[in-house]
């Protein structure tokens, strides 16, 4: 039986331990984003997890690979991986141009990038452990006992993942934070949450679609109101012109 102190150390002891639990990975991602730290490494790992295991045609894999590369690995990528270099991007380009028909190679096209991401995330995990040891871990997830239970209770793990990912997505989807960089981050987090098995992603996407429809309806209503105001102004101008003409005739 693990004591409280041992649980504290074990839950986030290394990256492999964290990656074994979707709940723990969600907590780590929540800390990175909540502390406004670079979450590119964590997001790249999760997104490429989903990419490698996706049951889709090669043409779709290739298209996704280009999207992942442009998001994380090109010189001007919105979420550029810290240690991504030109050679890495060139190697990926070569595969996507000349070897994309070899499915195994295509699925592992981000092998070097994933290794760099793991190295960066390992360093960030050490910082998170320090935060946890001074009692700040529960700011970004449930207490250690709940996380420990979630290691064997998949239902509990799902509850934790849903709660954290929904909070993340709602924060990123706030309309007052709409920028190109935020849109890229939101798209990456949506993919990452999907890789974590979050069902709330579909619900939130539906909510966002409804919000968009409502916004479009409001825009149409505003346009109609403006048109009515213009028509009223024209009518008033015509009335004034008629009154002036009558006065001149008198």
Would you tell me how many other CB atoms lie within 10 Å of the CB of residue 8?
Answer: 20
Among candidates 127, 143, 113, which has minimal Cα distance to 41? 113
Q: How far apart are CA 207 and CA 187, in angstroms?
A: 15
* CA angle, residues 18, 24, 27, in degrees to nearest 5: 125
Q: What is the pLDDT of residues 114-146, one digit of tens each?
A: 999 999 999 999 999 988 888 877 888 898 889
Nearest CA-CA partner of 172 in 150, 149, 144, 201: 201
pLDDT of residue 143: 87
Q: pLDDT under 50 in the chain at which residues?
A: 1
pLDDT of 98-115, one tens digit each?
998 999 999 999 999 999
Q: Is 85 exposed, middle or buried (0-12, 13-18, 19+ CB in 10 A)?
A: middle
- Residue-level pLDDT at 31: 95
pLDDT for position 5: 57
């Amino acid at each position: 039986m693990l004591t409280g102190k041992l649980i504290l150390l074990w839950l986030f002891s290394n990256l492999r331990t964290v990656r074994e639990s979707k709940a723990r990975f969600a907590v780590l991602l929540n800390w990175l984003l909540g502390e406004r730290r670079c979450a590119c490494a964590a997001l790249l790992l999760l997104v490429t997890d989903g990419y490698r295991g996706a049951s889709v045609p090669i043409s779709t894999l290739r298209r996704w690979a280009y999207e992942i590369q442009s998001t994380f690995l090109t010189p001007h990528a919105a979420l550029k991986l810290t240690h991504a270099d030109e050679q890495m991007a060139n190697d990926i380009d070569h595969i996507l141009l000349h070897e994309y028909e070899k499915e195994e190679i295509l699925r592992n096209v981000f092998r070097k990038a994933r290794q760099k991401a793991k190295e960066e995330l390992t360093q960030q995990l050490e910082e998170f452990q320090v935060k946890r040891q001074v009692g700040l871990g529960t700011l970004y997830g449930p207490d250690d006992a709940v996380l420990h239970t979630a290691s064997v209770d998949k239902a509990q793990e799902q509850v934790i993942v849903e709660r954290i990912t929904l909070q993340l997505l709602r924060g990123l989807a706030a309309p007052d934070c709409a920028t190109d960089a935020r849109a890229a981050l939101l798209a990456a987090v949506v993919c990452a949450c999907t890789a974590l098995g979050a069902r709330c992603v579909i619900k939130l996407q539906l909510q966002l679609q409804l919000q968009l429809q409502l916004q479009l309806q409001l825009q149409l209503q505003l346009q109609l109101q403006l048109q009515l105001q213009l028509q009223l102004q024209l009518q008033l101008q015509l009335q004034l012109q008629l009154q002036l003409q009558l006065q001149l005739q008198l």
